[in-house]
Amino acid sequence: MKDVQKELLAVSNALSSLVKQVEKISEVLDAEASGEAVPAKKAKAPAKKAKLAAKKAKAPAKKRAAKKKAPADTAPVTPAAADNSATMLESIFGMISRSRNGITVERLKKRTGLEARQVSNALYKLTKKGKVETISRGLYVKKKS
């Protein structure tokens, strides 16, 4: 089960990366279509690449919201982050509903592989929706209807 979750997380990260690449390409195409000058990429020195790779390995990835409008002639595309958060909420809610005596935040972090902040946000959303309730600090159960 953990292997499947890790693979799903890896696929999710790969899809997020692809979405970012597509957005960059579409920005360049829009700039070319509007007649704006497209800035040329600067060549980075190998030492800078190594430092950048080391920083990325140490620091957790930050997510940025896309501020791009969809072209008028095509239908809007839903961002991958929205699908990811929905499945994240579903998986956390599923774990909570399967637990008999409730589940702790630490256990949810271990099972999902998410960070504390992500689990906390998901639990907050589920609590606001009325699906989950808190028994004690850090212990959550499915709310009885």
Is 46 inside a domain boundary?
no
> Would 90 be classed as within a structural domain?
yes
The pTM assigned to this predicted structure is: 0.43
- pLDDT per position as a tens digit, 33-73: 777 665 555 554 566 666 666 666 665 556 677 666 655 55
Evaluate whether residue 54 is within a structural domain.
Answer: no
Residue 62 lies in a domain: no
Measured from the Cβ of residue 131, the count of other Cβ atoms closer than 10 Å reads 16
Number of domains in the chain: 2
Residue identified by tokens 């809610």 is 93
* Structural domain of 14: 1-37
Task: Give the per-residue pLDDT at 74.
Answer: 46
Q: Is 55 part of any domain?
A: no
- pLDDT tens-digit profile of 83-136? 666 688 899 999 999 998 899 999 999 999 999 999 999 999 999 999 999 999
Residue at 60 is within a domain: no
CA distances from 56 to 44, 89, 127 (A): 16, 27, 33
Has residue 119 been placed in a domain? Answer: yes
Structure-block tokens of residue 144: 């009885």
CATH, residue 119 = 1.10.10.10
Quick check: is 44 in a domain? no
